[in-house]
Structure 1
Amino acid sequence: MPKSSFTPNSLPNLAGKTFIVTGGNAGVGKSTVAGLANRGARVYLGARNTDKALEAIQDIKGSLEQPDADIVYLPLDLQSFRSVVEAAQLIKSKETSLYGLVNNAGIMGVPFALTQDGYETQFQTNYLSHWLLTYHLLPLLEATSSSSPIGQVRVVNLTSDGHQRFTVQEGIRFSDPELKNEPAMTRYGHSKLANILHTKQLHRLHGAWLVTAAVHPGHIDTDLNKKATGMVPPAVLRVMVPVMKCAGVLDTQANGALSSLYAVASPEFTDAGAYIVPYAKIGSASDAAMDSALAEKLWSWTAQRLQEWL
């Protein structure tokens, strides 16, 4: 696996700063929460399941050098736009500043299904709901930036090299965003391309005060691999995942969090709008991901689709 000199201990003291990590109860998100909390930050752990979230918080606290870490559960179901808006409203009612948002949660390679809002599950969970959450938190982020040194307020979107490997010819299929007749991993790649385009447009619109990054965490040993039953049958996954781990194809969750921590809180990261690859390095995204016109079109299309929730 690629190596980097960056470690979570490379981060400065984050006492007095607040961050949000979606999907913080497991996998890369859980390690991201731990890395921020261990440097003194208050971290909101966004998750759908209360019991799993509270269990994760206790696990994290038990693993840290400072067991009194400030980690707060944020109820958040990304398959419900109502839940997303309520989570943003809760943050704005409780906090006067927000230094970083890590849009980490995601699903991969699952069978085709629609959310209660009528969108394909991967596209809503990975992209649409994170766009909506970010939109509602932008005023708080901007207010924080106005009273802070430049470059400290950040939004990080988790993406994947799947945005290059699993594509449709037009990049984003606006006429058929559900992609029902495409393979599960094409639907995944579709959502991950949207994550980078979201990052690009955030940088264009708000780059004067907001630092953004799209992060490919690497090929990591998480539950995502075990749930990708839209890609291969469950019995095959049960065999594949341990083999890939032993072969070194899948890296640890702690390493998977390195690039997120680097992007959201390290003073070493200064390339706003960048695509970050394993680990804590600037990489090159696909041509479609760098298409400014496509990014602008996706932003406008998304705002129109989500108008009732804005």
Structure 2
Amino acid sequence: MVSIVDSWDAFKELVYVMWTAIHLYILGAIYVLKELNRKTQIISSVRHLSTDDTDLPKRLDNKVAIITGGSRGIGLEAAIVLLLKGCHVIIASSANPKTLNQLTNTILATVNQQNTRKEKIGKLEIWRLDLLSIKSVQQFVDKFHSSDVKNLHYLVNNAAIMFAPKKVTDDGYESHFEVNYLGHCLLIWALMPVMVASAKRCGQRSRVVNVSSSTHYARDLRINDLQSEDIYSPFHAYAQSKLCQIMFTYSLNDWLATHPMSGQYITVNSLHPGVALTELYTNVWWVKMLPALARALFRTSKEGAETIIYATISSELEGVGGKYLEDCAIIKSSPFSLNKQYQQKLWQKTWQLLEDQIHGLPNPIDS
């Protein structure tokens, strides 16, 4: 028999889910209007990035990039641009290991089809990475260090899940928090030493790019319930994980500023890629019901990759870190994301959770 307490808790969670959904759908409506303006340029001018823009390098030979979630959607479109410019791209994918070879061939076929200039394309590798598992992140890092890849110039943290049903991972974390945020934090920290060394060798700073979301504007951190144990909403869980990414970006930028041995060689920025119609919207009911409307309102994956490409390789951002970007421009993130006190609290909690995984690396919470 269901107790009164259980019924009350279920009612509270239902109200909370509805409330957070309303927040995000209102914000979503605003961003759909922004997408319409981007298409029409009626209200304001919005930059459309071309891969031939003068602030983008024509070639990226001898450069190496890792893109999480790069086997589809906006991550794939960014990978294709880098490959066409001659970059060595390692896609970190959670795809079935048995399909990775076929996936590699499929992507290369697409790249070759788009290579109208018949220039040398970069090397493509797809490595297994399941961000639902801290162990998988460690195995990915170990594979990188044991491989013949000695440089890393660009780390694009793009993989994500959105509005997923409640799930606790085998590591004990809420799934949005681990996939979108915590796993990427460990990946960044573990690969920072090689990014520093790569920057020293090539004379240009390495770049960390965190692909976040405009949904962060709609939510604040539940700093004492980051795992959504007290009450769960998929809408809050997603938005909070993206807010965490942005706040981590600011904290990492501050840490780098006080550690010049690393900071002079790495920049870190976060961004909203725009409302692009990708598989990320699998759990959005109206997109499933009205796909034609979604196609009319949203940008394509290729358009969604533009700000990622800009943040990763544009000369305009050389030496620029600790910024939040939309439509290839620096803008202000939410007031809450700029709160230094909460940035520091999140920074401390993050490294407490990852304490056992960062032995032998620089101490992220030293003075």
TM-score, scaled to structure 1: 0.90
Name the structure 2 match of 1:58: 105
The alignment partner of 1:125 has SS state of helix
Say which is worse superposed, 199-208 or 83-92, in terms of deviation. Answer: 199-208
The alignment partner of 1:272 has SS state of coil
Name the structure 2 match of 1:4: 47
Alignment of 1:65-84 (within 5 A): 65=115, 69-84=122-137
Deviating above 3 A after TM superposition, structure 1's stretches of 4 or more consecutive aligned residues are 51-56, 66-69
Q: 1: CA distance between counterparts of 2:70 and 2:98?
A: 13
Alignment of 1:174-253 (within 5 A): 174-180=223-229, 181-206=231-256, 207-228=263-284, 232=285, 236-246=286-296, 248=297, 250-253=298-301
Evaluate the alpha carbon distance shift between residue 237 and residue 5 of structure 1 in structure 2; reply closer, same or farther with a 3 A threshold. closer
Name the structure 2 match of 1:256: 304
Q: 1: CA distance between counterparts of 2:292 and 2:227?
A: 31
Q: 2: CA distance between counterparts of 1:33 and 1:53?
A: 16
Alignment of 1:1-310 (within 5 A): 1=35, 2=38, 3-10=46-53, 11-12=56-57, 13-49=59-95, 50-51=97-98, 53-64=100-111, 65=115, 69-94=122-147, 95-150=149-204, 152-165=205-218, 167=219, 171-180=220-229, 181-206=231-256, 207-228=263-284, 232=285, 236-246=286-296, 248=297, 250-270=298-318, 271-277=320-326, 279-310=327-358
- Is the 1:22–1:104 contact (alpha carbons within 8 Å) kept by the matching residues of 2? yes
Deviation at 1:174, TM superposition (A): 3.0
- Is the 1:25–1:52 contact (alpha carbons within 8 Å) kept by the matching residues of 2? no
The alignment partner of 2:85 has SS state of coil
Deviation at 1:53, TM superposition (A): 4.2
- Is the 1:25–1:53 contact (alpha carbons within 8 Å) kept by the matching residues of 2? no
Q: 2: CA distance between counterparts of 1:301 and 1:73?
A: 32
Two-structure CA RMSD over aligned residues (Å): 1.8
Cα distance per residue 1:205-246 (max 9 Å; x no partner): 124321111010000000111234xxx4xxx54213432222
Q: 2: CA distance between counterparts of 1:19 and 1:78?
A: 18
Deviation at 1:61, TM superposition (A): 1.7
Deviation at 1:72, TM superposition (A): 0.5
Q: 2: CA distance between counterparts of 1:100 and 1:110?
A: 29
Evaluate the alpha carbon distance shift between residue 37 and residue 211 of structure 1 in structure 2; reply closer, same or farther with a 3 A threshold. same
- Is the 1:26–1:56 contact (alpha carbons within 8 Å) kept by the matching residues of 2? no
Identity %: 28
Q: 1: CA distance between counterparts of 2:85 and 2:98?
A: 25
Q: Greater share of helix residues, 1 or 2?
A: 2
Q: 1: CA distance between counterparts of 2:100 and 2:269?
A: 26
Structure 1 stretches lacking a partner, 5+ long: none
Q: 2: CA distance between counterparts of 1:208 and 1:162?
A: 31
Deviation at 1:5, TM superposition (A): 4.6
Deviation at 1:183, TM superposition (A): 2.0
The alignment partner of 1:245 has SS state of helix
Q: 2: CA distance between counterparts of 1:23 and 1:175?
A: 29
The alignment partner of 1:147 has SS state of helix
Greater Rg by CA: 2
- Is the 2:245–2:270 contact (alpha carbons within 8 Å) kept by the matching residues of 1? yes
The alignment partner of 2:317 has SS state of coil
The alignment partner of 2:90 has SS state of strand
Cα distance per residue 1:7-36 (max 9 Å; x no partner): 223331100010000001111111111111
Amino acid at match of 2:50: T
TM-score, scaled to structure 2: 0.76
The alignment partner of 1:118 has SS state of coil
Q: 2: CA distance between counterparts of 1:52 and 1:281?
A: 37
- Is the 1:45–1:53 contact (alpha carbons within 8 Å) kept by the matching residues of 2? no
Deviation at 1:309, TM superposition (A): 1.7
Amino acid at match of 2:170: Q
The alignment partner of 1:214 has SS state of strand
